Each structure stands twice: as C-alpha cells, then as structure tokens.
Structure 1
C-alpha cells in the first residue's frame, strides 16, 4: 500500500483551543492591530512559498486563517507549495536572483545562508515574544543573525520513535528500551520475528537528519567545537558509527535511499515495527478504517539515551522569512503578525494535530498536547531541540554543512558498510573542513 504526502493525514484533530492564559484578540481586532502597526502598501498582494503538508488539517487551518486576513484587508495571499526536498534550493534561488515569493518557510538554518537577502523583522519578533512568553532558545537561534531576527520562528516538527506495541512485547520487551544498548537488542529480536525496524538513512530533510544527528550526538560526537573547529573525526563519532553499523543489520532493506515519505509508507504497509517520524504516521492509520487495529497498536516515545547519559535530539525547524526584494514588506509583516495572534496560531496548532510544536512558550498550553497519549512525545520538541550546528555557532557554515548532508552521508556510509566507521568519520572531517576553513 502506498500513500501520497497529502493522503497521510485527512482532517484535523477536531479539538477546541480551550481557555488559555493568552492575550486573545478577535479576528477583527487582530487584523486592525496588524494593519495599524505596519500600514500595508496600497494595492498589496503577497505570495507565500511553503512546504507541502504531511498534515492536511495543518494546511486547512493556515488557509482558513489566510482567508480571514484577505477578506478583512483585501490583500490577496497566493500560497504555493513545494516538496520538502525542493524548498531549500527554491528559496536559495529566489534569494540569489532577487525575485519570487514574498514569504518563504525555510528549514533549519537555511536563513543563515543568505541573511542579507532577508527583511529584518526584529520589531515584529520581539513584539510577539513579549506578548507570548518568549521564544524557545534554539528556535530563536535559528531565526537570528548577530542579534537581529531575519525570520519568525514558525514551528518545530517533532520527531519521535513510533512503534507497534504488540510486536515489541512479542519480542520480549515489556516497554520500549530507554537506552541505545536496549534498542539494539530490541532490533535483533524484532528482526528475528520478521518485524524489522527501519530508520531513514537517505537525504530525508526531516527524518534522515534527525536520526543521523541523534546517532552522532548520543555517543558524544559533534561536527564542531564551541569555537567552530571541525572535530567530527573523533573516538566518540567512531563509536556512534560502529553502533549504527550493528543497528543497521536489524533494518528493513533499502533505508539508505529513503526520503521523508518512505518510512511512512513502509510503516503503514505493515513492513516496519519501529521508525522515527512525525505524528502524521499515526494519523495516516487512525484516519483509515482499514488500519484501526494498527492505529490502536501504535505508541510513541523519545529517542533512547546513548552513552553520554542525556537526551539529545534534532527536530526539524521551520522559519517564516520575508525577502528584502518584496514590493510589499509591510503587508507581509502585517500578515504574519495576524497569523501569530493567539486565535489564529492556536487554530493552526490544533489543525496540525501535534505535528507542529509551538516556538513561543505561551502556546505550550494548547490542549492538543494532552488530547491523546501518542502526542506526548512530540509536546516538548521545541524545548529539547538542539541546533544542528552544535556545538558551534549557527551561521552560513553550519547551514552549508547540513545542506551538503555531511552527517547523514557519514552515518549512512558506516551503517551500510560502504566505508568503515573510521573511514566515514575521516571523510566527514575532510568535507566539513572545506566548509569551516
């Protein structure tokens, strides 16, 4: 059975936003406030480029909020979509040629690659921070350059381990392992029962990056030190690569070519017992009557703790940026200011059914996080997020290193035996040094 990205989640969670300790404005008041603050240009129209949704309810909520803005202001907002993998090059081209969408949703530290092409939105960002409890530190780090905001932290897309509970129990485990040693033993037992695991080792913007950075960090490895010196070729990194080479033996074949949609498809087809994904994979089963038994059997948990003894997780982050070339920068800011007001942002979080985690702390009270047990592992994504540039600063170099898939390629090479762990770490060091020199 195969499904498209748009098929993965049909409809929202249907949750009421509930009473929250947030400054609530009516739609009319929120729009009036945004318009008064930024005074949109006469005849303004906007174009937004966003990633293709895995969650239909999330997209529906964003479109509904946009319609409110357009009806009240007369400012038309065209929403275009690209695949997850295509957002990065499309945004980079727009930045370099100086034409295209007014607003773009970028991944991770992509905004750090061309900050001089992006509108300074510090005034808007700090206003929202003061209104809604401040940003989570890592979310803010992705959106700022030299103390100024070049985008608005939009969401953290939580990545958690999703598994078939009955199969884990059949393998002899009363609960999901909490450490890397236990995960390997579980993988062996599941493979013996013909229920293999599978984690993305291909160029999946979300799942591939999240899993491979966890392999590196959980064993104490890192791309660079605090000063930005490349240190990825280390004993700690090699230890992580030796571990993943053993773990890979328990995987379903083909994970080295997976993109973000492939593990969803394999899990929903019943071919996988364990993977790492957003909550969308659960709803793909929950919203299909034929898969009700599978949905009831699914649970989620955070990644096991490795030798360093603490949780270290990379979650996908997305930031809303306005290009400087936009003819309507004030209208763009008014639009985003409205979309971040509590009524709209809570509706968007609710529609996303725990797929998107808030970047402003006050929204942690949204009832979506406690509405279903499977949501719990995703609720703290923004709080536990460690930036991909760890342990050095974010910037053009960390962005380029991620865009070049250095960590993902290193982990995949060692896992599949294309290179020894030592060779893979050495090659990653050489590739990273060309960027960080």
Structure 2
C-alpha cells in the first residue's frame, strides 16, 4: 500500500494522520469524513487479544498491524491470552492501573470498569458515520452512560455444526428448526452411537451461548426491564427440564467443558452435533487428513422455541483503551487504522466467517457467500440479544455473566446436584447480589 504526502504529514512534534478517505486509505474524501489524530512523540503500544481459533484472523491482524507500524513508525506489540483469562486479567489491569494499552474484552466487560477506560466516542462516531452505523447489540456492549468506552471489533457467531450423514442416518432429511424436533434428533443420534455435546462448563463463549439459548428459547429472562431478578420463574423451570432431557443424550463430561472441548470432540468424531463458531469447520477444511470429514459438516441457526424467533447470544469482543496509557492518541490512531476499509474488510474475509462485522457497511463482505456453511454466521451482529436481557447492561449484568450464574444453574440441575426448582432459586439468589447491591 502506497502512502502519499497527503496521507501522512510528518512533523518534529509527531504525526498528523488523516484517516478518512483522503487519509490512510488513499481515496478522495469530503472534509466531514476526515478525522485527524496526532500521536504522541515516541509512542509505543502494547495490545492484548484472545488466542485465535482461526489462523487467518490472527495472521491478517498481525499483517495489518505491521503495516500500521511501517506507515506511522509506531511500534505495536501484540500479546495473546486464553479466552478464559481475558476477563480476569482485564479487570486486574483496570484495577491496578497497569498493563496493556489496548485489550480485547468480552461481552459487557467494559461495563465493569467504565471509569478506567478512555472515552472513544469521537472515534466511534466517525467510524459509524462513515461505515453505515454500528449494529445495536455490539454498540450496547461498548457504550456506558451514552459514551463509547470501547470499540466493538467483532461478533463471533454461534450456530449448530453437525455431521450431515449422521443426521440423515438418524431419520432427519434437514436439520430441525424447532426445539422439540431438535430434542428428537439428539435422542436419535444417541441411539445410533453419535451423541450430542454442548458446553455446561465455564466456557466464556460456548458455555454462555448455550445457557442463554436454553433460557431464551423458553421465554425466560434473568431480569425484567427494570432490572428486577426474574430468573426463578416457570419459564426457567421449563428450560431446565428441557436441558435435562437434552443432557441425557450427551457424551459424558460436558459439565467441565471449556471453549476448546466441543471443537475437539466434534473433530474427533465423538459427537454428531454441537454449537460452535465456524472454527470447527475451519479446522477440518484446512486439515488434509479431514478433507472428507469437512465435506460432511453442516451448519444451521439454533432451533426456535416458544417465541418463534431466532434468539441467540453471540459472543462480542470489544477493544478498550485503559486510561493509564501513556499514548492515548496513538491507541486511537491504531484502532482507527484497523477499522478503515482496506484493513477491516481484509480481516473479516481472512477470518473465514469467524468474525462478523460490527459496522453495517461491511455486511457485503464476499466471505458470507463463499461457502454455504458460513451462512448462519453472516448476521450474528444483527440478530444477537445481549446477555443483560431484558434489563439494561451495566456492572450487574457483567457481574452475573462473569460469575457464570446462568451457566451454573443449568449445570447443577442437569447433573442432578439440584432439582430444577432449587437450581432456579439459587440462581436468583446469586443474581440479586449483583442487581440489588
């Protein structure tokens, strides 16, 4: 990529970068499209992100970062943490005031320490105005008190992945669209020696995604619109009983699964169906030894329950900038650069349908029509429901999710540790510690 004198104006005080059309992306721009950010002299950045499940995601992000350093002279070091370690380490950094300048966090993590995060509203507004606006769900996760305290990077879609031949062998010509039919499929798969497997452990993504789908598909909710805890309800009891019936069809051990376990079980041929990002298919499609396996992989949106609507929790990751950073302008410039079309479009495409766009203008990325398996993931940002439903996002919703209240409710009941009624009651007690504090 060539950079002209209009792209970067170097001065002894630093760099004035025009990052709109006439800026970093080398296209004509109107004055209102241009946002200039002058980084601090001698700026260096440290970024912490989660470990990738799709190689193309990491490789392209690193390539974009290297280009950023070439274009601006700002060195960027990128560290990786496991999915489960991101949340506690981000909280520690916010608490002690030391750590990475930028960090990729999960769901409503920014709501736990908004006062420790840099206000990115001006940058978010610039990007939103230029690229068709932010999807409501990702935006809600990244905003607090009307301000952007993060930038939503991606929504990691969640869908059913299954073995097509085994589903047909079980007597189903197509994947079930309702929860009742889905239970029948799982029962048939178990009888044919191909059990189901869904995460009941503390998987940041898969555990939360599955638990929220179970609850919402039966019209349950953790809280009402005012934030009153409503999890101990007939709807929740019904959801727990349904989950218990599904659990009888599972491979043993799912109560201890984390985010990697269902991938491994599916790729090893131990389960016939699970819920996952596109990473399970991606791993098979990129392994010559699993070429035939990959041809047998199908995907579908999660079955619909009582509501009659697609209601799913997809995993949103946002980039936050901690206030303690010595280089706030450089951090904002880096994020601006990465969200501009030449970088963001290529990153979404390289992620092979794993990372769904959070800005609407990127919805026409060619990756979404490149493979039928990718289709259920294409609208993850558009259809997601936030975990704070039906109440507002904030420290309470973030705390309840971080404490795995909903995940534990289902796990305790399906494993027989508590009755459905006892599990719902305990979940309500735990949730009230956050919502009534």
Instruction: Give 1:247-396 correspondences, 5 Å limit.
Output: 247-396=246-395
**What secondary structure sits across from 1:54 in the alignment?**
coil
Q: Could you tell me how far 1:350 is from its partner in structure 2?
A: 0.9
Using structure 1 for the length normalisation, give the TM-score: 0.93
The whole-number CA distance in structure 1 between the counterparts of 2:274 and 2:23 is 41
- How many Å apart are 1:371 and its aligned residue? 0.3
Shift of 1:351: 1.0
Report deviation, 1:346: 0.5
- For the 8 Å contact 1:164–1:273, the answer to whether it is kept is yes
Deviation at 1:308, TM superposition (A): 2.1
The corresponding residue for 1:12 is none
Quote the Cα distance in structure 1 between the aligned partners of 2:69 and 2:257: 39
Aligned residue runs from structure 1 range 180-219, under 5 A: 180-219=179-218
Q: Give the structure 1 partner of residue 112 of structure 2.
A: 113
Contact 1:35 1:334 in 2 (8 A): no
- 2-side partners of 1:269 and 1:36: how far apart? 49
Please list the CA deviations of residues 54-103 of structure 1 after superposition, one character each: whole Å capped at 9, or x if unmatched. Answer: 11110000000011110111100000000000000110000000011000
1:179/1:288 CA distance change after superposition, 3 Å: same
- Bigger CA drift: 306-315 or 362-371? 306-315
1:27 deviates by 4.8
Distance 1:306 1:258 in 2: 25
The verdict on how the C-alpha distance between 1:320 and 1:231 changes in structure 2, with shifts beyond 3 A counting, is: same
Q: Name the structure 2 match of 1:165.
A: 164
The answer to whether the 8 A contact 1:25-1:341 is kept is: no
Mapped partners of 1:293, 1:175: distance in 2 = 20
- C-alpha distance in 2, partners of 1:222/1:106? 24
Distance 2:409 2:224 in 1: 18
1:151 equivalent in alignment to 2:144: no
CA offset at residue 289 of structure 1? 1.4
| Larger RCO: 1 or 2 (CA < 8 Å, sep 6+) | 1
Does the CA contact (< 8 Å) of 1:219 and 1:306 recur in 2?
Answer: yes
Measure, in 1, the Cα distance between the counterparts of 2:22 and 2:198.
43
Structure 1: gaps of 5 or more residues = 1-22
Structure 2 matches for 1:218-229, cutoff 5 A?
218-229=217-228
TM-score by length of 2: 0.93
Aligned residue in 1 for 2:412 = 413
Q: Find runs of 4+ consecutive structure 1 residues off by over 3 angstroms.
A: 23-30, 32-36
Residue 421 of structure 2: aligned partner = 422
Contact 1:27 1:68 (C-alpha < 8 Å) held by counterparts: no
Displacement after TM superposition at 1:159 (Å): 0.5
Tell me the equivalent position of 1:38. Answer: 37
- The 5 A counterparts of 1:41-56 are 41-56=40-55
Contact 1:27/1:343 (CA < 8 Å) preserved in 2? Answer: no
SS at match of 1:299: strand
Q: 1:194 to 1:260 in 2, by over 3 A?
A: same
Contact 2:196–2:273 under 8 Å retained in 1: yes
What SS class does the counterpart of residue 359 from structure 1 fall into? coil
1:57 corresponds to which residue? Answer: 56
3-state SS of 1:357 partner? coil
Measured after TM superposition, the shift of residue 29 of structure 1 is 3.6
Root-mean-square deviation (Å): 1.6
What are the superposed Cα offsets for residues 13-69 of structure 1, whole Å, 9 maximum, x if unpaired?
A: xxxxxxxxxx86685648x99997110000000000100111111000000001111
Contact 2:23 2:34 in 1 (8 A): no
Q: Secondary structure at the match of 2:110?
A: helix
- Cα shift at 1:140: 0.5
